[in-house]
Amino acid sequence: MNDFGPMPWPRAGPFLISSNPQRLDTLSLVIRKLLRSLARFAPGHAHGRGHARGHDPKIHKASQIGIDRRLVSSGAIRTVEGLQQAGYKAFVVGGAVRDLMLGLRPKDFDVATDATPEDVQHIFRRARMIGKRFRLVHVLFGPETIEVSTFRAAAGEDHETDAHGRVLRDNTFGEQHEDAARRDLSINALYYDPLSDTVLDYHHGVEDLQARRIRIIGQPDRRYREDPVRMLRVVRFAAKLQFDLESKTTEPIADLADLILNVPQARLFDEMIKLLQSGQAFLGLQQLRRYGLHHGCLPLVDMVLEPEGSEKEKQQALSFVKLALERTDQRVQQGKPISVGFLFASLLWCPVYRHWKQLEAQGSKAVPALHEAIDQVIDQQLDRLSIQKRVVADLREIWMLQPRFEKRNGQAPFRLLSHLRFRAGYDFLLLREAVGQAPEGLGAWWTEFLEAEGEEHRAELVHKTSARRVSPRSSRSESDAPEQTESLDGSATADTQEKSGRPRRRRRSRSAGQAQGGAEGDGGTGGAEP
């Protein structure tokens, strides 16, 4: 069975049609196609729908402006082909076209069409409708998902807005030139037809791409009021692509930056994730602060770029964040996955570390002090930014693992190696050691322990470490005594081991097996080690 194909004409008869909603929808589809075909011959529509007089785009030969059709996914081509065969207009649109012009292979493809979401569902066998604010259709081809949107009208008086002009609901369908006008940036308003090898450019997007320029479509102040997140987007794209920002585009941002406070926290969080995973994360944070957008986003930007403490502490904090983001950028550029939990753990760690050490200096024990420092910083962040619960849980675990890395006697290393977040915690430890926040040589010891060939080698490392810590006058060695360790919730646990300091063979075998899975399973998403 094909994914798309011609729809069968329903049998005549009012009873049959009215008693079968599917046939009624099919007849409606056929009628709309017929009316659309007739409209193309009407005065003022000589160029077809969306190309009325005064709205003609500039047409480029795709191969002549750097687009390689071989980089287009088969799913995107099949979606465009299926819609066009059904009598509709269809184009690859948005970031995919931009990336193709830059010689990059897009991660995903969006298609824009004059077919309604219901029409799209009728054409493709595997399609599902999503969204409330924007109704979209996801067309599935195996593991690939193509997102299909219907041309939308430019924002007008009939759109639902809040008191500040932010558009709340936008499901008004329109012409192609209107759809192009409502997009945010000129470089994201290009329509590519892989079948005819042409690109339709309504707002000089090709010219801006060639000039490496970020320019918003329309009046900047009005566009920012419609959706304040656009201010974050222009900054993010400028950092990601290392393009220049047009002065007219940036001019209103300083006066309108407070509108960010009216944006739902979930959208702010999503936009921050995109910025931090752009491949130019530190530059993106600097740009946010430059244009005064950081206050409405999250206080961590100030924490990152203007840390508190002595001059040494400030430099250490900046070095830590820059190193963490540089390694994240490397993973992005290599196409490796990024752990959001690790990312936020890196950004928020320095104020946690500073407060933790202050509490320890005041006499608090290490683990309870760390718990208190974590709670204080997270509460501060959640007041401004809706960090997802799973992300908060991940970063808590990464942080709470850090004191456990200093316990290298008895069974403690084997238990830690089997922890689900071991690899992320280990990567985090290496970052800390690189800036002087962890004992010198601790990371090297854990690297050797992790890469050791067999359990005997690991047990030998633990035994040597325990032996170095034994006092000559002690009647009972530290490795012989029950080891007191702190769990993630701060409670103490005790483990007994053999006098030799070697863990029991049964426990060693179990730990080694789990450790291998933990290292491999979490290593790809640790975010620190490229």
Identify whether residues 310 and 257 lie together within a single domain. no
Domain end marker among 240, 261, 282 = 261
- Return the ∠ at Cα 53 (arms to 52 and 55), rounded to 5°: 70
Q: What is the mean pLDDT of residues 105-110?
A: 93
**Domain for residue 31, yes or no?**
no
C-alpha to C-alpha distance for 414 and 417, rounded to whole angstroms: 5
Q: What's 34-92 look like in SS3?
A: HHHHHHCCCCCCCCCCCCCCCCCCEEEEHHHHCCCHHHCCHHHHHHHHHHHHCCCCEEE
The reply to whether the predicted model has a pTM over 0.75 is no
Range of the domain at 336: 302-470+480-523
- Give 213-252 pLDDT, tens digit per residue: 999 999 999 999 999 999 999 999 999 999 999 999 999 9
Is the pLDDT higher at 232 or at 15? 232
Identify whether residues 93 and 187 lie together within a single domain. yes
CB neighbours of residue 12 within 10 Å: 8
Identify whether residues 201 and 316 lie together within a single domain. no
**Domain for residue 143, yes or no?**
yes
- Give 436-486 pLDDT, tens digit per residue: 999 999 999 999 999 998 889 999 999 988 777 554 444 444 434 444 433
**Domain for residue 34, yes or no?**
no
User: What CATH number did the domain enclosing 67 receive?
Assistant: 3.30.460.10
- Give 308-357 pLDDT, tens digit per residue: 788 888 889 899 999 999 999 999 988 888 899 999 999 889 989 999 99
Identify whether residues 314 and 253 lie together within a single domain. no
pLDDT on residue 371: 95
Identify whether residues 355 and 242 lie together within a single domain. no
pLDDT on residue 264: 85
Identify whether residues 195 and 329 lie together within a single domain. no
With cut-offs at 50, 70 and 90, classify the pLDDT of residue 31: low
Domain end marker among 243, 261, 279 = 261
- Give 64-97 pLDDT, tens digit per residue: 999 999 999 999 999 999 999 999 999 999 999 9
Residue 462: left if φ>0, alpha if ψ -120 to 50, beta else—which one? alpha
Number of domains present in the structure of the chain:
2
C-alpha to C-alpha distance for 347 and 351, rounded to whole angstroms: 9
pLDDT on residue 412: 93
383 is catalytic: no
- Give 364-392 pLDDT, tens digit per residue: 999 999 999 999 988 877 766 678 889 99
Of the candidates 365, 373, 377, 376, the residue with the CA atom closest to the CA atom of residue 492: 365
Identify whether residues 309 and 216 lie together within a single domain. no
User: What CATH number did the domain enclosing 495 receive?
Assistant: 1.10.3090.10
Query: By CB neighbour count within 10 A (0-12 exposed, 13-18 middle, 19+ buried), where does 257 fall?
Result: buried
Report the share of the chain in percent with pLDDT over 70: 72
Identify whether residues 192 and 319 lie together within a single domain. no
Identify whether residues 170 and 226 lie together within a single domain. yes
Identify whether residues 352 and 446 lie together within a single domain. yes
Question: What is residue 436's three-state secondary structure?
Answer: coil
**Domain for residue 49, yes or no?**
no
pLDDT on residue 510: 37
Rounded to 10 degrees, the C-alpha dihedral 44/45/51/52 comes to 20
Q: Is there a contact between 467 and 479 (Cβ–Cβ < 8 Å)?
A: yes
**Domain for residue 96, yes or no?**
yes
What Cα–Cα distance (Å) separates residue 108 from each residue in 13, 280, 320, 366, 371? 44, 20, 32, 46, 40
**Domain for residue 529, yes or no?**
no
How far out from the chain centre does Cα 275 lie?
A: 8
C-alpha to C-alpha distance for 229 and 263, rounded to whole angstroms: 7
Domain end marker among 261, 294, 310 = 261
Q: Is there a contact between 245 and 238 (Cβ–Cβ < 8 Å)?
A: yes
Question: What is residue 385's three-state secondary structure?
Answer: coil
What is the maximal distance between C-alpha atoms in the chain?
103
pLDDT on residue 413: 94
Q: Is there a contact between 181 and 169 (Cβ–Cβ < 8 Å)?
A: no
With cut-offs at 50, 70 and 90, classify the pLDDT of residue 60: very high
Q: Is there a contact between 150 and 114 (Cβ–Cβ < 8 Å)?
A: yes
Rounded to 10 degrees, the C-alpha dihedral 450/453/459/460 comes to -110
Is the pLDDT higher at 196 or at 18? 196
221 is catalytic: no
Identify whether residues 225 and 350 lie together within a single domain. no
Residue 161: left if φ>0, alpha if ψ -120 to 50, beta else—which one? beta
pLDDT on residue 25: 46
Q: Which of 108, 193, 197, 221 is catalytic?
A: 108
pLDDT on residue 27: 53
- Helix or strand run (H / E) with residue 198: strand 198-201
Q: Which of 99, 110, 114, 394 is catalytic?
A: 110
Q: Identity (one letter) of the amino acid at 447? A: T
pLDDT on residue 263: 85
Q: Is there a contact between 330 and 427 (Cβ–Cβ < 8 Å)?
A: no
394 is catalytic: no
Q: Which of 99, 114, 184, 394 is catalytic?
A: 184
Q: Identity (one letter) of the amino acid at 75? A: G
- Give 269-322 pLDDT, tens digit per residue: 888 899 999 999 989 988 888 888 876 555 567 767 777 788 888 889 899 999
Q: What is the residue-averaged pLDDT of the chain?
A: 79
The secondary structure of 508-525 as a DSSP string is HHHHHHHHHHHHHHHHTT
Identify whether residues 199 and 338 lie together within a single domain. no
**Domain for residue 16, yes or no?**
no
**Domain for residue 175, yes or no?**
yes
